[in-house]
Structure 1
Amino acid sequence: MSSPSERLAQILTEGRFVAARELGEESAAALHTHAKERYLALEATIPRFQSSMDRRLFELGPPVLAIYQALQHDLGVDRAPALRLAEDMLLAFSRKQRSRHPFLGAAMDVVSRLRPAWPLPMRSTPAREPGGSRLDRAGGAGALRAADARECPLVTFARRHGLPEVVAMICRLDELQAKELHRAELRRTGTLDTGAARFDFRYVMAKK
């Protein structure tokens, strides 16, 4: 598991060409500096969870938020293009990560074929620690894996900083990962950052 500061460095490196294309080389270099400054200001507010699941949520959340803040407040980029550019940089990072692990998709696909290896609807679990995630038992016909997130510390963190919109781009990485599967697909109808009462996950057999 990487730290948020390590992830920030990776996103800035892998997404540098995207920033240079949109902003120019000089502004891309400035973004690198300002994003690190913004991250240092955020670092003290990052929750210190014991749960590996909750810690993993914060690998990307604070780095993306710092980049988004730097684009808006330090470089004067408007909200919509700043959000789009931050997501494009995150996607560039994600694509690079997947290219470094070319067998990950195949391994996930093998798992999707082995129904017993996929947990059946999860038992309800309370927050493992104050402020942590809460997953509830979920069902669904034909679901290989099903869960409802009722509380998400990353959504709380982003709202506290007035930028809940950054959560959606991180959640979309789940969809990209799910596309690596050939025998299963991800379905969901709502997310906590958009005001839904639950963030539902349903992995079902794919109709491909």
Structure 2
Amino acid sequence: MSSPSERLAQILTEGRFVAIRELGEECAAELHTHAKERYLALEATIPQFRSSMNRKLFELGPPVLAIYQALLHDLGVDREPALRLAEDMLLAFYRKQLNRSPLLGAAMDIVFRLKPARRLLMKSMLAGEPGGFRFDRASDAGALLAFDVRECPLVTFARRHGVPEVVPMICRLDDLKVKELHGIELHRTGTLGTGAEFCDFRYVMAKK
């Protein structure tokens, strides 16, 4: 499992062509430097989770926040263009990760299609830890897997640093990830990151 600092380096590398396209070579190099400086300033505030699930779900928060802060405060990019650029860099990294893991979709398919695997996944999610993600089982007879996220440390972390607007771009990665599944869709009406009371996840079989 990668650390947030390793994820920052990967996002900056995989998203470099996006930064050069939008900012030019010189400013893209400055972004690289300032994002690392911003991350170092954030590092002491990153929660130290024991659970591997919490660490995995949280790992993109600090690097995305550092890149966004660098764009806003060090390079003087306006809010909306900074959000778009940070998300485009994140997507470049995430798509490369998916391409490097061709078996990911197959493994996820097994988890979603086998009831014992879903039960084991749900059990691990419900265990939780203080300050981490809090999942509640949800009732939905038509769903393969149904749960609600009631507490999200990504939202807490971003609010603490005054930039809650970065969270939705991380939420949207769930929609990209589910495309790796075959015949399974994610139905979701809201997320904590966009101001909803909870994130409702309903994984269902796609209609033919």
Q: TM-score, normalised to structure 2's length?
A: 0.93
Q: In the TM superposition, what are the counterparts of 1:134-153 in structure 2 within 5 Å?
A: 134-153=134-153
**CA displacement 1:45-104 (0-9 Å, x = unmatched):** 001111222211221000000000000110011000100000000000011111111222
Structure 2 residues without counterparts, runs of 5 or longer:
none
User: What letter is aligned with 2:93?
Assistant: F
Higher mean C-alpha deviation, range 54-63 or range 71-80:
54-63
User: What letter is aligned with 1:87?
Assistant: E
Task: Give me the CA root mean square deviation.
Answer: 1.9
Structure 1 residues without counterparts, runs of 5 or longer:
none
Aligned to 2:86: 86
Give the structure with the higher percent helix. Answer: 2
* Native 8 Å contact 2:112 2:145 kept in 1: no
- Percent identical pairs in the alignment equals 78
Residues 1:47 and 1:112: Cα distance change in structure 2 (over 3 Å): closer
Q: In the TM superposition, what are the counterparts of 1:154-169 in structure 2 within 5 Å?
A: 154-169=154-169
Q: Secondary structure at the match of 1:44?
A: helix
Aligned to 2:57: 57
Q: In the TM superposition, what are the counterparts of 1:13-162 in structure 2 within 5 Å?
A: 13-119=13-119, 122=122, 125=126, 127-129=128-130, 131-162=131-162
* Native 8 Å contact 1:120 1:145 kept in 2: no
Q: How many Å separate the matches in 1 of 2:55 and 2:120? A: 24
**CA displacement 1:115-166 (0-9 Å, x = unmatched):** 453239957947522x222111201121111111111111100011111111
* Native 8 Å contact 1:122 1:136 kept in 2: no
User: What letter is aligned with 1:103?
Assistant: L
* Native 8 Å contact 1:122 1:138 kept in 2: no
Q: How many Å separate the matches in 1 of 2:33 and 2:104? A: 33
* Native 8 Å contact 1:190 1:200 kept in 2: yes
Q: TM-score, normalised to structure 1's length?
A: 0.93
User: What letter is aligned with 2:140?
Assistant: G
